Structure 1
């Protein structure tokens, strides 16, 4: 499918699921498949930093520039918290804001991983995510299934949104279903 046809669709895909790696694995596979199809995928990925089987931080990764930085960890003193970890809002904003701005300009498909965790950390991050969600480009976001964050309802209310709930049973077929939706080959779920 040509990029201009994709832009007209402006499909918004929300992948929800339990805490753990299956959302990240599926998202990684989707990105890989889109790039293999020659599409420009930009945006941000969030990863847990785990030491001795304990969550000690979160890092953010800019898909386009390949920049990665830890923005939340136990050693950071901050009023802003993410899962009881201090957040260095400057580090988060330095990667997320330019990444999403560039994605809105240049990407064929935009990715925002763990949008519910990031959405309310700072007003600037909230503004960038909001502007990106309203863009007329295909977007894939991930969100924790049990999130009480109102951003899930906000995403669901956007035009063209498809929500996929990933489970250990459907995790292998999910990337293919998402690609079919992005290609306009599959109707409402």
Structure 2
């Protein structure tokens, strides 16, 4: 059961490779253990022979996957050395709806590749305006521009992940979420 304070939006930022995805996956595991229905996605590195060759998205609800970007594809959209699969991203976003199906939403991440998509921006705006508690990882270049990009007055909290705090951050965010979600859906 979600209470009236449920609109909390939590943002997690930090340098690439610091552990943002690992942090939200630990929170996801805790949420599902307590019976919450979690929607959204995480981004995972794709590696070949120890080298990063791209990124894939994994739907947290149905476990479906989509390549977000890689070094092999030829597309019209490029960020650094990665070719962004904008069509695949847009189809993947369609599978996240309806948002009302979820008790909590996790989006990993709001970054330059994802922001190429108008559908992605619309998705984030809808989540920001929803009454569903949400956790977002956000690229450092967007961290101070949340309200500018997503025009919202909803309450939010921004945490900065560092080497010093990354082990304890999942617990800190879980405790903050507990202030905004009421009761446990399923006692374990």
TM-score range, shorter chain: 0.7 to 0.9
Question: Counterpart of 1:9?
Answer: 6
TM-score w.r.t. the length of structure 2 is: 0.84
2:161 and 2:147 map into 1 onto residues whose CA distance is: 15
RMSD: 2.3
Question: Counterpart of 1:172?
Answer: 167
Residue 46 (structure 1) aligned with residue 18 (structure 2): no
TM-fit CA distance, 1:71: 2.6
2:145 and 2:155 map into 1 onto residues whose CA distance is: 18
Identify the match of residue 158 of structure 2 among 150, 163, 171.
163
TM-fit CA distance, 1:119: 4.1
Number of matched residues? 180
Question: Counterpart of 2:122?
Answer: 127
1:41 and 1:82 map into 2 onto residues whose CA distance is: 29
Answer yes or no: is the 8 Å Cα contact 2:18–2:161 preserved in 1.
no
1:138 and 1:124 map into 2 onto residues whose CA distance is: 20
TM-score w.r.t. the length of structure 1 is: 0.84
TM-fit CA distance, 1:55: 2.5
Residue 181 (structure 1) aligned with residue 176 (structure 2): yes
2:103 and 2:143 map into 1 onto residues whose CA distance is: 30
User: Equivalent residue of 1:76, what SS?
Assistant: coil
Gaps of 5+ in 1: none
Deviations 1:52-100 (A, max 9, x none): 443311101111111012131122211212333112222111112321x
TM-fit CA distance, 1:136: 1.2
